[in-house]
Amino acid sequence: MSPPALTATMWSLATLHVNLQERSPYRVPLTLVAEHCASSINMVVKTPPVVKAMWAAIKVDVGDPVMQNLYRQGLAHTMDLHVNKGVPLTLKDVILLLWGSATLSKLGPVSDIDKLIMISSEVICGIQEGDYEIDPQNTTMALWSLANFLPDSSADDLVCRVISESLRNADASRLSPFELSLVLWSMGKLYETSSSYLRDRILQAVVHLQPQVEILLHVFSLRQVANVLWAFGATRIDDCRGLFDKASLLDILKAPGRVSSSEYRQSIANIAWAYATHDYSSDSVSSRVRELLSYFTTSRYDEMTSQHAATVAWALWRMRGMEPHSVQDMARIADRYGDRFANRHVITLTRAAAGAKFYHPSLLEAILRRPISSWTPDQCGQLLWVLATWGVPHDRRMIEYATQCDAVVRSYDYTSDGDDTGLGIDKLTTIEWATAVLDLPQPKCSYLWDKESDYVEAQAADLTVSQVLRQRLADSQSFSDMGLTQLYWAWVLRHDAEGGTGTAPPAWVLKVRSWLTDASSYSLQPSSLQRSVHSQLPQGDWRQEYLLPPWGISIDIASPSRKIAIEVDGKAFHSVYDVSTQQTFIDASARVKKRLLERQGWRVLRISEQDFVAAEGKQRKYLATALSQAEDGDSTSNSQHVSG
């Protein structure tokens, strides 16, 4: 059989095989044909037969080494025909080559990708928009392929042209729901690594397609809904709450699905990630996410368990859907699979629990079992935040581990601009805060406020309430007040309350202190629970929302003459819930306040909402008893909630 006949046979048999699926009798013959095609492909002098045989190989079985060899041989020959012998490539040729190479690239590197993208750009961008419209199937395949290559800015013109053609097809109602969802997914995938120019074009396109998405939302499959919402999450599109609200009401999200299906798990994980990225809550999505967590506690571990478990845990935190039994599931997952998780997934899992103010010893053990040397400096910084947020009382192993994390970070050369040579100022600020909260030993190297004093002073110089509000609206990622506030409390914790080092506070500390005082006058208002507690207290100089000098420590209810501070806690406010013991302990912000108050000779009394409400009719007596215990120096009233 001649080489052209072999390629035609490969194409025909592959088409029959794909259509017949499991009933196909052609799988074995196709392997033989593919071997002969690969050995004689260089004898074919036209590109369409070669490209069709390559397409057939990928469609039959991309994981088969024989089919992969045919594709690679065909790609090298096609590039040679076009580049060295001037044989033209058609639009269909480059679309199939892009798709086949993108599919094969998931299993390993593919040669000549840069050359293929350059040729594809010449062919596709060379078509005048008025002369020919690229059909929906081709534009969708091309955009999906480019998204999987993640091309650099040299491909911007090509990507923009394919996006433009996709929008033209969408406006003419030529995109099917599947194609529309895949176009959006592809743009979301491209967004993160694109140039600023291409990002702007992608944002415009996603916003342009939003009305069509809302119209077709009820006909999308679960996977298509996931693709669409993931795209809106990846591009951080504003003003899409209506879309997310409508999606949460879809029947496919309300009803439990087939959790054992990998496609179902991937879809729910992507949907949850999209909701969490926008900080949108959804009971239906949270329910599906909790199903996944439960499933992972009993399923067989695979390469996706780590990623999915971490993603859905993070999503529950961001959607405010974390519950104690969810943390129990996370703990079981950590016990069973924690040692097989990638470092980044361990961090995501534990950050989700800590961020939602939950703790479980198994989650801490998942961290402590790993040698310090296995973490990068950036990961050590994130771990310090987790450990400080938990702040488990009297856990020496945790403190020792945190100290080692701190040593790793501080031995690492860093810069203030977050480039590749080190950690950025925002991350280092969090590290200073975490190490101060944990009361770790004084580091041998300089503190951040000393090392980057000029930068910190410059950031604090123009800090005012109105300036901060403007900057927050303009840039949610700015260092500004958030970072300065963290750094401020870290500095205060590292010095005694009266400046025991014998030196005056630096200018930036005084500036932040002044700003905090001004900001508090704008924002601090007693809660209804706070007012109720205040009304039941015995007579005295009780003051609500008292700012204690010199550092502006905010106290819910204070008696300056008696140096008693009453902190009124809601159901989960300023406390971490230990799921294993069903007990609470104070969180990081409460520990900071407690240490600073006790340093100035104050006693801290914590009144929980649960205990106060339970004492209805006897609340005045309950508070009098609690105050008496505090003044007598009862240790439990200083560190934990007063029991009713």
Chain segment 435-480, per-residue pLDDT in tens: 999 999 888 888 888 888 888 888 888 766 555 444 443 444 445 5
pLDDT in tens, 276-314: 998 899 999 999 999 999 999 988 888 778 889 999 999
**Cβ(7)–Cβ(52) below 8 Å:** yes
Mean pLDDT, rounded, of the chain: 86
Backbone angles phi, psi at 542, to 5 degrees: -75, 125
**Whole-angstrom Cα distance, residue 590 to residue 606?**
10
pLDDT(169) > 70: yes
Residue 576 pairs with which residues in a beta bridge?
585
Give the per-residue pLDDT at 560.
93
pLDDT(415) > 60: no
Higher pLDDT, 478 or 494: 494
pLDDT(633) > 80: no
Higher pLDDT, 419 or 137: 137
**Whole-angstrom Cα distance, residue 84 to residue 460?**
62
Give the per-residue pLDDT at 524.
67
Give the per-residue pLDDT at 551.
82
Task: Name which of 17-21, 312-316, 433-437 the model is least confident about.
Answer: 17-21
Among the four given CATH numbers 3.40.960.10, 3.40.50.1100, 3.40.190.10, 1.10.540.10, the one describing domain 524-639: 3.40.960.10
Region 521-529: what's the mean pLDDT?
A: 75
**Both tokens of residue 465?**
């309430």
Q: Strands, DSSP E only, in 282-366?
A: 358-359
pLDDT band at 418 (very low <50, low <70, confident <90, very high): very low
Region 428-438: what's the mean pLDDT?
A: 91
Region 232-240: what's the mean pLDDT?
A: 89
Kindly compute the dihedral angle of the four CA atoms of residues 151, 153, 154, 158, in this order, to the nearest 10 degrees. Answer: 70
What's the chain's Rg over C-alpha atoms? 31
Give the per-residue pLDDT at 152.
56
Higher pLDDT, 208 or 444: 208
Question: Burial, 138: exposed, middle or buried (Cβ in 10 Å; 0-12, 13-18, 19+)?
Answer: buried
**Cβ(211)–Cβ(243) below 8 Å:** no
The contacts found for 344-349 with CB under 8 angstroms, 24 or more apart, are 344/310, 344/379, 345/306, 345/307, 345/309, 345/310, 346/310, 346/370, 347/379, 347/382, 347/383, 347/386, 348/310, 348/311, 348/313, 348/314, 349/309, 349/310, 349/313, 349/314
Kindly compute the dihedral angle of the four CA atoms of residues 545, 549, 553, 557, in this order, to the nearest 10 degrees. Answer: -30
Give the per-residue pLDDT at 570.
61
**Cβ(189)–Cβ(148) below 8 Å:** yes
The residue type found at 569 is D
Higher pLDDT, 307 or 414: 307
Residue that has been written with the tokens 């012998």 in this structure: 85
**Cβ(401)–Cβ(408) below 8 Å:** no
pLDDT in tens, 28-87: 888 898 898 899 999 999 999 999 999 999 998 989 999 999 999 999 999 999 999 999
So where are the chain's domains? 453-519, 524-639
**Whole-angstrom Cα distance, residue 127 to residue 91?**
9
**Whole-angstrom Cα distance, residue 89 to residue 123?**
8
Backbone angles phi, psi at 577, to 5 degrees: -100, 120
Give the per-residue pLDDT at 361.
96
Higher pLDDT, 522 or 360: 360
Region 574-597: what's the mean pLDDT?
A: 88
**Whole-angstrom Cα distance, residue 350 to residue 310?**
9
Give the per-residue pLDDT at 505.
87
Region 413-435: what's the mean pLDDT?
A: 70
**Whole-angstrom Cα distance, residue 608 to residue 275?**
32
* 108 φψ region: left (φ > 0), alpha (ψ -120 to 50), beta (else): left
Strands 603-608 and 564-569, sheet pairing? parallel
Region 201-221: what's the mean pLDDT?
A: 95
Give the per-residue pLDDT at 167.
93
Task: Name which of 102-116, 268-282, 419-433 the model is least confident about.
Answer: 419-433
**Both tokens of residue 621?**
């007596």
Give pTM, 2 decimals: 0.78
**Both tokens of residue 397?**
């192993």
557 DSSP assignment: E
Residue that has been written with the tokens 């361990």 in this structure: 346
pLDDT(258) > 60: yes
**Whole-angstrom Cα distance, residue 363 to residue 338?**
9
